[in-house]
Amino acid sequence: MPARSLTSSRSCVSPGARVAVLLPLPLAGAYDYRAGAELLAAGDFVAVPLGGREAIGVVWGDAAGEVAEDRLKTVIRRLPAPPLPRPVRDLVDWVAAYTMAPAGAVLKMAMSVPAALEPARGLVACRLADMAPDIKETPARRRVLDTAGRLPPLAPADLAREAGVGPAVVKGLLEAGALERVELPRPLDFLPPDLDRAGPELSPDQRAAADALVAALDGGFSVAVIDGVTGSGKTEVYFEAVAAALAAGRQSLVLLPEIALSAQWLERFSRRFGVRPAEWHSDLGDARRRDTWRAVANGEAQVVVGARSALFLPFPDLGLIVVDEEHDGAFKQEDGVSYHARDMAVVRARLGGFPAVLASATPSLETMANIQAGRYRRLHLPDRHAGAAMPEIVAIDLRRQPPPRGHWLSPVLVAALEECFAAGEQAMLYLNRRGYAPLTLCRGCGHRLQCPHCTAWLVEHRSAGRLVCHHCGHHIRLPRKCPHCEAEDSFTACGPGVERVAEEAAARFPSARIAVMTSDTCSGPHAAAEFVRKVAAHEIDLLVGTQIVAKGHHFPMLTVVGVVDADLGLEGGDLRAGERTHQLLSQVSGRAGRAERPGRVFLQTYQPDHPVMRALGSGERDGFIAREAELRRAAGMPPYGRLAALVLSGPDSAILDGFASRLSRAAPRLDGMEILGPAPAPMALLRGRHRRRFLVKAPRGVNLQASLHDWLGRVVPPGGVRVQVDIDPYTFW
Q: Footprint of Zn ion on this chain (CB under 5 A)?
A: 451, 453-454, 469, 471-472, 474
Specify the stretch interacting with ligand ADP by CB under 6 A; choose among 30-38, 165-173, 201-209, 703-711.
201-209
583 is a contact residue toward ligand ADP (CB under 6 A): no
240 is a contact residue toward ligand ADP (CB under 6 A): no
650 is a contact residue toward ligand ADP (CB under 6 A): no
Distance, CA of 667 to CA of 674 (rounded, Å): 10
Q: How many CB atoms lie within 10 A of CB 193?
A: 21
Specify the stretch interacting with ligand ADP by CB under 6 A; choose among 106-114, 202-210, 573-581, 628-636.
202-210
Residue 440 near residue 458, CB atoms below 8 Å: yes
Distance, CA of 255 to CA of 345 (rounded, Å): 9
- Preceding peptide of 682 cis, ω within 30°: no
Q: How many CB atoms lie within 10 A of CB 556?
A: 15
Half-sphere exposure of 475 (CA within 13 A, CB side): 13
Residues 411-450, one symbol each (x = binds ligand ADP by CB under 6 A, - = not), give: ----------------------------------------
206 is a contact residue toward ligand ADP (CB under 6 A): yes
Partner whose footprint covers residue 471, from Zn ion, ligand ADP, none (CB < 5 to 8 Å by kind): Zn ion
**Closer by beta carbon to ligand ADP, 209 or else 318:** 209
**Candidate list 99, 230, 302, 426; residue touching ligand ADP; CB under 6 A:** 230
State the maximum Cα–Cα separation within the chain, in Å, rounded to a whole number.
85
**Candidate list 228, 435, 545, 677; residue touching ligand ADP; CB under 6 A:** 228
CB of residue 459 to Zn ion, shortest distance in Å? 10
Q: How many CB atoms lie within 10 A of CB 249?
A: 11
| Ranges within 353-412 binding ligand ADP (CB under 6 A) | 385
Specify the stretch interacting with ligand ADP by CB under 6 A; choose among 223-231, 400-408, 494-502, 718-726.
223-231
**Closer by beta carbon to Zn ion, 469 or else 522:** 469
Segments of 89-129 assigned E as strands? 123-128
Distance, CA of 231 to CA of 51 (rounded, Å): 56
CB of residue 386 to ligand ADP, shortest distance in Å? 7
Specify the stretch interacting with ligand ADP by CB under 6 A; choose among 41-49, 226-234, 337-345, 513-521.
226-234
Distance, CA of 18 to CA of 16 (rounded, Å): 7
**Closer by beta carbon to ligand ADP, 441 or else 543:** 543
172 is a contact residue toward ligand ADP (CB under 6 A): no
CB of residue 467 to Zn ion, shortest distance in Å? 11
**Candidate list 231, 319, 593, 638; residue touching ligand ADP; CB under 6 A:** 231
Residue 261 near residue 309, CB atoms below 8 Å: no
Among residues 649, 644, 648, which one has the least CA distance to residue 729?
A: 644
**Closer by beta carbon to ligand ADP, 289 or else 551:** 551
Mind giving me the DSSP string for 475-512?
Answer: EEPPPSB-TTT--BS-EEEES--HHHHHHHHHHH-TTS
**Closer by beta carbon to ligand ADP, 85 or else 228:** 228
Give the contacts of 514 (CB within 8 A, at least 6 positions apart). Answer: 502, 505, 506, 540, 541, 542, 543, 544
Residue 237 near residue 227, CB atoms below 8 Å: no
Partner whose footprint covers residue 200, from ligand ADP, Zn ion, none (CB < 5 to 8 Å by kind): ligand ADP
Residue 681 near residue 653, CB atoms below 8 Å: no
Residue 159 near residue 148, CB atoms below 8 Å: yes
Residue 661 near residue 669, CB atoms below 8 Å: no
CB of residue 664 to ligand ADP, shortest distance in Å? 47
**Closer by beta carbon to ligand ADP, 90 or else 267:** 267
593 is a contact residue toward ligand ADP (CB under 6 A): no
591 is a contact residue toward ligand ADP (CB under 6 A): no
SS3 (DSSP) at 655: helix
- Preceding peptide of 678 cis, ω within 30°: yes
**Closer by beta carbon to ligand ADP, 206 or else 605:** 206
End-to-end C-alpha distance for the chain, whole angstroms:
47
**Candidate list 65, 164, 200, 720; residue touching ligand ADP; CB under 6 A:** 200
Give residues in contact with ligand ADP (CB under 6 A).
Answer: 200-203, 206, 228, 230-236, 385, 554
